[in-house]
Amino acid sequence: MKLRKVTAAATTALVLSLTATACGGGDGDSDSGSGGGDKIKIGIKYDQPGIGQQTADGDFAGFDVDVATYVAKELGYTEDQIEWKEAKSADRETMLERGDVDFIAASYSITDERDKKVDFAGPYLLAHQDVLIRADDNSITKPEDLNNKNLCSVAGSTSAQNVKDTIAPKANLQTYGGYSECLTGLENEAVDALTTDDSILAGYAAQQQFQGKFKLAGLKLSNENYGIGVQEGSDLKDKINTALEKMVSDGSWDKAVEANFGPANYKNEPAPKIGNIVK
């Protein structure tokens, strides 16, 4: 009798175990991002035209979106298996540490401080802090020309403050709520320049309503090495690096640059070599 009771309990445990396995541990999502799962979760920006943006019809577009989609495909996922997650700048490390996403491609500059918390594949783009000016403005050709100019900053941005503090201390720094407001101010001549990464500026300038109105000054005020963030210790880093190398070699990287930044005449740097961080 005792043997029968143990057998029945063991059978029940086995059934429960098989049921849990069939359910995929709860939500059926991949927990490693290595292919074969139902979904891969990728963090991107939702509000940066040309980089990562959620469009009016609910789709996603931009250079980071193209890069992330290519990488996901190389990892074994189709486009409809991608679950996009909004990765705001302040939330990126936390999202990776908690496992909310498998990787993040969101104008994510590789820095020593961030590298202590997460791992980075790449870099896949070398951007620079620059300024966007009106297309007919020839008065800003070097950093010091920003002195006595009205420089637009987005609330919470460090880019404009960097110019104010170290590059052009006499610049008149004005804070706006968002990049769109800065662009309106630039178009209406309320401000003379908008500063952030040149890739982000090119994305805005490439929008249909702004084409031909603005240009990048090409000042290269800093080096921003965009990487793909993964959880510290994740084996995805090497797999993503392999995918990025293939994207460059087969020409897909150049096509993505042209598609997203071309209308702004963005003079991008060549595709960086994996692991080559430009200080």
Q: For the chain, what are the domain ranges? A: 40-127+224-264, 129-216
Q: Which CATH class is domain 40-127+224-264?
A: alpha beta
**Nearest partner of 45 among 103, 107, 97, judged by Cα:** 107
pLDDT, tens digit (0-9, with 9 covering 90-100), for 15-30:
344 343 333 333 444 4
3-state helix, strand, coil in the chain (%, to 5): 40, 20, 40
Angle subtended at Cα 201 by Cα 257 and Cα 125, rounded to the nearest 5 degrees: 40
pTM for the predicted model, two decimal places: 0.82
Percent of the chain with pLDDT over 90: 73
Which pLDDT band, with edges at 50, 70 and 90, does 256 fall under?
very high
Residue 35: the pLDDT is 54
Residue 36: the pLDDT is 53
**Are the folds of 40-127+224-264 and 129-216 the same?**
yes
CATH of 129-216, one of 3.40.50.720, 3.40.190.10, 2.40.50.320, 3.30.930.10: 3.40.190.10
Q: What is the mean pLDDT of residues 205-222?
A: 92
Residue 157: the pLDDT is 75
- Any idea which of 44-48, 112-116, 175-179 has the lowest mean pLDDT? 175-179
Highest mean pLDDT among 31-40, 128-137, 151-160, 207-216: 128-137
**Nearest partner of 92 among 74, 80, 110, judged by Cα:** 110
Q: What is the mean pLDDT of residues 125-143?
A: 96
Taking 80 as the threshold, does the pLDDT of residue 242 lie above it? Answer: yes
For 109-115, the CB contacts below 8 A with 24+ separation are: 109/197, 109/224, 109/225, 109/226, 109/227, 110/225, 110/226, 110/227, 110/277, 114/229
Give the neighbor-by-neighbor strand order of the sheet with 47-48.
47-48, 52-54, 60-61
Contacts of 31 (CB under 8 A, 6+ apart): 25, 37, 99
| Rounded-to-integer distance, Cα 179 and Cα 209, Å | 14
